[in-house]
Amino acid sequence: MPAAQTTPINVLPPPLPPALAAGKVVLRQPSGAPRLVTGLSVVLDGADVEAKARAFVTRFGGDLGVAPTALQVDAVEGRSVRLRQVHDGLLVQGATLTLRFDAEGPSARLIHFNNETRRVRKARAATISVEQARTLAAQAVLGPQGKLSTQVPVNRLWMPLSVSGGELVEVFEVLVATTPASTPERVLIDGEQGSVIGRKPAGGH
């Protein structure tokens, strides 16, 4: 994976197209990106809400600062579709776009959306290996001599460095249990700095 990437952007995003600006818009501060838009009635192509969600990101993804290819459908629940943002093939933690429609079939119109995606300005790639991350996680939970089997999976993802900023750091997520019967801990390793940045029970939020 390449080293840190920087993409120049305007201080403020461009104005929303009329179809989206017609709704009630709540902006994310300080970026000025739309976070929540309600009161819409947007007609989109597609036979169902999932197809319409794909049509939405193709048509409006750029207006949200996200390439359409960076949004993947994660869940379809009735009239709602949730998409997750990826960057260089890895998920961006917490970066989702949730669309809500007024029906489920081909006549459905988009009525509101909640945008938690990121307009990525800089991505700090990992400088340590997966095995080094596994060792750091083991030592954090089991002590200086702690080791994990190479079969223990390590998940890679991007983590935003601030609530509203566009800078990401590549993180390794490792589940470490003190005994086979114990609840594992979810350990997060900063892949650039090679340091533990979080520990919590697996499944915790």
Q: Which two tokens stand for residue 170?
A: 């590549």
Region of 197 (left: φ > 0; alpha: ψ -120 to 50; beta: rest) is alpha
Give the Cα separation of 83 and 64 in Å (integer).
13
The yes-or-no verdict on residue 1 having pLDDT over 80 is no
Give the up-direction half-sphere exposure of residue 131: CA atoms within 13 A in the CB hemisphere.
Answer: 2
Instruction: State pLDDT tens for residues 62-99.
Output: 888 899 999 999 999 999 999 999 999 999 999 999 99
Phi, psi values for residue 17, rounded to 5°: -65, 155
15 within 8 A of 21, measured Cβ to Cβ:
yes
Q: Which residues in 162-185 are b (16+ Cβ under 10 Å) and which e?
A: eeeebbbbbbbbbbbeeeeeeebb
Q: Where are the domains of the chain?
A: 5-117, 126-201
Instruction: State pLDDT tens for residues 151-188.
Output: 889 999 999 987 666 899 999 999 998 888 888 999 99
Instruction: Write down the pLDDT at residue 166.
Output: 82
Q: What is the CATH number of domain 5-117?
A: 3.30.310
Global pTM exceeds 0.75 = yes
Give the Cα separation of 81 and 77 in Å (integer).
6
Helix (H) or strand (E) holding 51: helix 49-60
Q: How many helices (H) and strands (E) does the chain have?
A: 3, 13
